[in-house]
Chains A and B, each alone.
Chain A
Amino acid sequence: MLIKRRDFLKTASLATASLWVPRFLQAHSRPGALAHNGRILVMIQLSGGNDGLNTVVPYQNDIYYKERPRLGILKKDALPLTDEAGLHPELQALKSLYDAGDLAVLHNVGYPNPDRSHFRSMDIWHTASPAEEYWSTGWLGRYLDAQCSGGGREVCPATVLEIDDTLSLALKGYQQKGLALQNPGQLYQTARSPYFTDYLAAQNNMQQEDSPVGYLYKTMAETLSSADYLFEKSRLKPSAGTYPDTGMGKHLKTVASLILGGSETSVYYLSLGSFDTHINQAGQQKRLFKELSDALAAFSAELKAQGRWNDVLVATFSEFGRRVAQNASGGTDHGTANQMFFMGGQLKQKGLLNALPTLTDLDEGDLKFNVDFRQVYATLLERWLGTDAEPILGKRFEPLEFV
C-alpha cells in the first residue's frame, strides 16, 4: 500500500510527540491557523564589526578622505544614493532596492557606553541589555516566550529560526528557544533517527514539564516535530530561483523555500562574516558584500515574482562599526555606532532616514550614536511583528516610523 509521504509524516509525528506538543501540531495541521500576523523578519548579522563608513560612503566629506587616504572609496566608484552619500560598489542589489523604494538606511545606531570587544558587544545586541548588565536571554528568544505565554496563539520553536549549525543567544528565551538548522533536510535526518523516535514514544508520557527532565523531553519532542514540519514545508513549493553558490545564497534559498511553502516562521536569523577587517580591509569587505548583495538580489527577485515581497522585512546589523581613521595595515580598528539597512516592499519611509554620521564630533576617534538599537528592536517588534515590545525589551523604547 502506498502511503503519501506527508500523511506518513503527520501520523509519525502525532504518534511520537502528541503527548508533548499537541498545540504545535494542531496549529500547523489546521489550514489557515496563522500563528502570527503573517509578516516575516529576516535579520542578517554582519559579524565582526562591519565598517559602516565604507558601506555608505560620505563622498562629500573631506575628513573622510583625509582620515582614509588609502581606504577611502572614491565618489566615482560608489553607487550614488544622494548628493552626499553612495553605497559600496559591491552593494548593487541594495542600490536597485533603493531605486525601487525598497531600501531604508538608518545611521548612527548604537548604545550608551559602547564596548569594543566583539563578544561583549554582540552579547549586548543579542540580549538587548544595557552595557552594564549581563543578560542570559536574547530579544528574539523573549519574543518567542511572549508568543507562547499569550494563550491565544499557537507557537513552536520553528517560529524563530536561525540558518546555522548552532543557535545564537539572540534566539534563546527563558521558556522557549528558537531552532537552528542548516537546511530542513539535514535537520530531519538528524532528528529522525529510529532510536530517538522510538525512545521518545516509549518514554515520553511519564515526565513533568516543569522539571529539568521534563524540559529535556519537551525540547526533544518539539525538535522532532519541528523537523517534520519544516521538512514538509520546505518541499511544498521549493524555491525555483537561481541563487549564488555561496553560504548566504544557500541560506536565503532555504529561507525562500520555507516562506513560499507557507511555514509559519516569523523570524529568520542569518549571519555573514567576518567583517573584522584590521588588515587588508578592501578585499575582504568587497568579497563579503558581493556575497550579500548577490544573494539578496536573488532573494528579493524571487519573492517579488511570487508576490511575497510585501510580507518580508530584511534588516542588517553589526555589533559595532569601525574607527574613522584607517590603521597602518590597510584596515580599520574596532569602533562604535553603525548603520542598519532595512529592505522590503512595505517601508513607510525610504532612503536615508537620518543624517549621515558627523566626523567632526567623535568619542576617542569613534562615531557617536544617536539612535539606540533597542528603538529599532521596538520598531521591528511592534510595528512589524505586531507584538508589545516593552515586556520583551524590559522597558519602553520609542519605536521609529520606517515601517
Chain B
Amino acid sequence: MAVSKQLKLQHLLWRAGFGPGSKTWQAWENLPESSWWPKLREASATEPRFFDVVDGALGGLLMGVGELGKMENNKKRLSDDERKEARKQSRQALQSLNLIWLEEMVHTDAQLREKMAMFWHGHFASRNLNILYQQQLLHIFRTHALGNFRDLLRAVSKSAAMLAFLNNQQNKKQHPNENFAREVMELFTLGRGRYTENDIKEAARAFTGWGFKMNGDFVFRRIFHDTGEKTVLGKTGKFDGDDVLDILLGQRQTAHFIVRKLYRFLVNEDQIPRDERVQKLGDRFFESGYEIMPLLEAIFTSDWFFAEENMGRKIKSPVELWVGMRRAMPLQLDDPEGQLTLQRALGQVLLYPPNVAGWPGGRNWIDSTSLMLRLRLPHIIAAQSEFNISPKDDDDQMMGRKGKSRLQKRMAATVNWEPLLTIFSAQPEQSLLPQMARYFWQMPDAQPPVDTLNNHTNSTSKAQHIQSLALQLMATPEYQLC
C-alpha cells in the first residue's frame, strides 16, 4: 500500500512533536515534502524561555533547606516549620512547572525541541523535590535538546538535581558512593554490561568531591576528592569526573547506545532493523562529536522513517496522548490542576519519572484500567463527566500527608471546535468519516467501522457530526497509536 503524503506528514508531526495541531494543520498541509524538515528545525532554532516558578521568598527558603529529601543535613539553619513550609511550597511549584511545560508542549511551534527535551528527561531521569534544582535541570534538557550530547551529559552530570538524586554529595574519598558512577555508565552512556564492576569503583573515585551549593551551582570540593591514580575502561591516570566523562564519550558504544534508544523513541519501539541503518547512524553520531541536530536530520529526512512498517505502531505515552489530544481539540480547562491527577492515573507524571531508568514505555503504558481511561478520555472532557479516578499516592511527594480524597476532580473543559470545523466543513458528507479517520489515526491500513461509528455519532448538523466523530475516533484503540 502506498503511504499518502498526508499520513507521512502526520507521522512526522507525531514523532518529531506532539501531533498535528488543528490550528496550524492547513499551513502544513500545503507545504511540499522538502519543506517539512526545515520548517520543523527552524521553529526550534530559538533559545528556550526559562521557566522560573520560584519566587524570591521560596528561593530564600530553599537555599536554607538544601536537599529536601535529606532534611537532617541542615537542621540548624531552619526551624521545623520553615522546612515544612519550604517543602510545601516546593511541591506546589513543582506542580506549576509541570503544568507550564505541558502548556508549552501544547502551544509551542518548537515541537521538536520539546519532544527531544521529553526524551532527555526520560533518559536522564531524576526525582528531586527541590524545585530550584528541578527547574535548572529541565532548562538543561530544553537548552541542549538539539545541541551536543557531550555538553548535555556534562551539564546534567554537574546539575544539583542529578548529583543529589544519585547521592554524589555523599561520594567522598574516605567513603566512596558508587551510585552516580554506576548510573552514568549503565543508563546515561554505555549501557548495561559494557563495563566492569571495577570500572564503576574506579570511576566513583574520580567523581569524589563533585557536589553542589544550596543555590544549585556545581562545586568541586577538593578536600573530598581522591587524587590518586584510577583505571577506567583500560585507561589509567589521575582522573577527575570530567576525565571520566571524556573517557565514556570516547567510547563508540556510547554513541550507539544513545542512537538505539533514540531510534526506539522516534522511529520504531518494537523492532530495530537488522540492516546497517542504526549502526551507521551511531557511527555518524560518534564521528560528528555527538551533534544531535544532524542525527535528527538523518532520521527525519530518510525514506525508511516514512516506511509503512514504522507508522501507527508506537503506543503514545500518556503525555503524548494528552498533549496530542489538546493540539487536535483546543481546550479551555476549568481546572488545569486536574491534569496532574490525569498524569498520575495514566502513569506518567512530568518531573516524576518512576526511577533513574525512566519510563519503560510501549506496552507498559497499557493495562485494563489505563486503557479504559484512555478510551473514555475524549468523552470525560467533552461531556464534562465525572473523572472518578483516584490515583495512588506517591509517598515521596506526600511526605505522610493524606491526599486521596482530594484528588477526584472534574476534567471540565470548553472545547474550541473552530479549528476542526474549519478543516472538515468542506468535506462532503459521504467522505467525512474516512477523511476524519485518516486525520486522527496513524495506522496505514486501518479501516473505520462505518456502521458502528454512524450509529454512535450525532449527525443532526454538519458541525455536530464533525464534533461527535472526532470524539468517537479518539475513543478508540487506533488513536492510542502514532
Contact = CB atoms under 8 A, between A and B. Distances in A.
A173 B391 CA distance: 20
A134 B389 contact: no
Nearest to B400: A276
Nearest to B178: A132
A213 B399 CA distance: 39
A47 B481 contact: no
Interface string B146-178: 000000000000000000000000000000000
Given A49-B395, A134-B357, A276-B400, A167 B127 contact: no
A172 B354 CA distance: 14
| Contact-size category for B | 35 or more
Given A194-B456, A211-B313, A277-B400, A216 B392 contact: no
A169 B394 CA distance: 13
B314 interface: yes
Contacts of B199: none
A191 B376 CA distance: 9
Contacts of B356: 134
Contact of A123 (B80, B345, B355, B392): B355
A212 interface: yes
Contacts, number: 149
B449 interface: yes
Contact of A177 (B368, B394, B472, B480): B368
A198 B390 CA distance: 28
Q: Which of B315, B367, B396 has the most chain A CB within a 10 Å cutoff? A: B367
A117 B394 CA distance: 11
B375 interface: yes
Contact of A191 (B372, B390, B399): B372
Contact of A165 (B313, B345, B362, B402): B345
Contact of A199 (B360, B398, B402, B449): B449
A196 interface: yes
Contacts of A1: none
A240 interface: no
Contacts of A193: 376
B314 A132 contact: no
B443 A213 contact: yes
A180 B373 CA distance: 12
Contact of B80 (A132, A178, A211, A329): A329
A203 B452 contact: yes
Given A203-B452, A206-B447, A196 B371 contact: no
Contacts of A179: 367-369
Contacts of A166: 344-345, 347, 369-370, 389, 391-392
B478 interface: yes
Given A195-B475, A213-B477, A274-B395, A167 B369 contact: yes
**Smallest CB-CB A-B distances: 9 pairs:** A136-B360, A202-B449, A134-B357, A118-B395, A276-B400, A216-B477, A177-B367, A223-B368, A202-B452
Interface of B: 69, 72, 80, 127, 182, 270, 312-315, 344-345, 347, 354-357, 360, 362-364, 366-372, 375-376, 389-396, 398-402, 443, 446-447, 449, 451-452, 455-456, 472, 475-478, 480-481
Given A166-B370, A212-B363, A213-B312, 8 more contacts: A134-B357, A165-B391, A172-B367, A179-B368, A195-B475, A212-B313, A276-B400, A279-B400
10 contacts: A134-B357, A180-B367, A190-B376, A199-B476, A212-B270, A216-B366, A219-B367, A274-B401, A276-B400, A279-B400
